Every structure is written in structure tokens, then in C-alpha cells.
Chain A
């Protein structure tokens, strides 16, 4: 199922400094089964908001969370 999902392109970001020694170390690096070792406690990492909401965004939010009125 995931195979049909369009993968996003990697966002532009400032380059990560990597020395030749580090690059050579990459090739020699051993694999660690680390995804299993690295639990993701997402509830403990909140989104950090650096902007403040506008009135228009607040109204959009209100409409998006308001309860539906049952069809008559």
C-alpha cells in the first residue's frame, strides 16, 4: 500500500558538514538495528509554534473542529 504513495522530495536545508574521514567512516560503518532501539514517544515531542495565529486562521480552526449538525 505504501508503494503507491508519492514520496515527498527532501526539503532544501543547509548542508551538514561531513569530513573525508567521516565519509570514509560511512563506508566502514556497521549497521545497527537502531529504529527498533529508538522508541518514538511522539506525545512527548510537541510541535513548537514560532508564529502566532491570525483571526482568519482562528476562524478556519473553529470551523474545522466544530461539531456537525445532524441532518434533518
Chain B
């Protein structure tokens, strides 16, 4: 009976996270944690709900708890990397995503996120290598992540020149056609 209840709550929470109903998802996930606070998956799901709701410190706390319980799970480190990027803790984010890449070498999202994290630290050659790998693994997902990165990080920035923004946009358009 309890198994069935937890299964339903996890499914419900995943559904809410996917629909990006952040606030509602946090409420559901909090209820879930009360049932079994030890389980790494509970902390992981709760962390994802906080992340979608832009509660990055809470998300990181949950992912850290999940990692303490299940340190080798690359899914935890993948989301931990996202939370650390959002918190601008880039060196730690790079470490988390490098681990996700090393343990899941075909995970295009993790590889692309690692490259993005390296760009944010001005590590050009490392980023380039990871972008090439990510695009080779999954072009559509990688290009979507690269465009999203430009839209949310550079395009809206007053500190980035308009000519540089235009060159990035042209390069991204070319990438869609060429690679």
C-alpha cells in the first residue's frame, strides 16, 4: 500500500516538474520526503522541484543530501551541476558535470552543460571539445541547449556587444545546417 502511494507521488511530482509547475511540485515533493527522507530518489526529486521553482539553495541542499546517500549516481551530479551553475559556483559545477560525463559518456546534455560551464569560465579549448562531442552524440538537443544558453546568458546581457551577439547567432544558424 505504501509502495503504491510513494509510486503515485513520485509519478505526480515528476509530472509536475515536467510541466514546470514549480511551486505545486515543491509541495508534493515535501509530502513525499516525509514518507521516506532517507531515500536518495526522494531528495533528488525534491531537488528538481526546487530547481524548477528557482529555489537554487534548496535544490542544492537536496541534491547534496541525495549524493551523500548515493554518491555514484550520475543523475544526481548532473542536476547538481545545473544547480551550481545557477548559483554561479562554476568550478564545483564543472567538477560535478565532468563526473556525470565520465560515468555517462553518451549523455549529450551533461557533456553540453559541461562545455557551457567551461565557457562561463573562459576555458575555450575544453568547451570546444565538449561541444563537438555533445553535437556528435545528439545534435538537436545540443543545439537547443546552445541556443538557450545564448538567449538567456548573452542575448539579454548589456555587457556583451551587439556585433558579438550577431556573430554567435550566425554561427549557431550555420551549425544547424553544417554539422
What residues make up the interface of A, taking CB atoms closer than 8 Å to B? 2, 5-8, 10-16, 18, 22-23, 25-27, 29-32, 34-35, 37-67
Given contacts A2-B103, A25-B37, A29-B38, contact A55 B64 (CB under 8 A): no
- What is the distance, in angstroms, from B53's C-beta to the closest C-beta of chain A? 10
Q: List 22 A-B contacts (CB under 8 A).
A: A7-B71, A7-B99, A16-B62, A29-B37, A32-B6, A32-B41, A34-B39, A34-B42, A41-B18, A42-B107, A47-B116, A48-B56, A48-B152, A50-B86, A57-B119, A58-B160, A61-B127, A61-B149, A64-B127, A65-B168, A65-B172, A67-B179
Interface centre among A46, A49, A60 (most CB of B within 10 A): A49
Given the interface contacts A11-B92, A65-B168, A65-B171, does A38 sit within 8 Å of B61 by beta carbon? no
With both beta carbons as reference points, the residue of chain A lying nearest to B48 in the complex is identified as A45
Main secondary structure of the interface of A (DSSP, over half): loop
Closest beta carbon of chain B to A33's beta carbon, Å: 9
Query: In the complex, which residues 158-179 of chain B have their Cβ closer than 8 Å to any Cβ of chain A?
Result: 158-161, 164-165, 167-168, 171-172, 174-175, 178-179
Cβ contact within 8 Å between B103 and A5: yes
A-B pairs with CB below 8 Å: how many?
201
User: Is chain B's interface secondary structure helix, strand, loop, or mixed overall?
Assistant: helix
CA distance A17 to B88 in the complex (A): 24
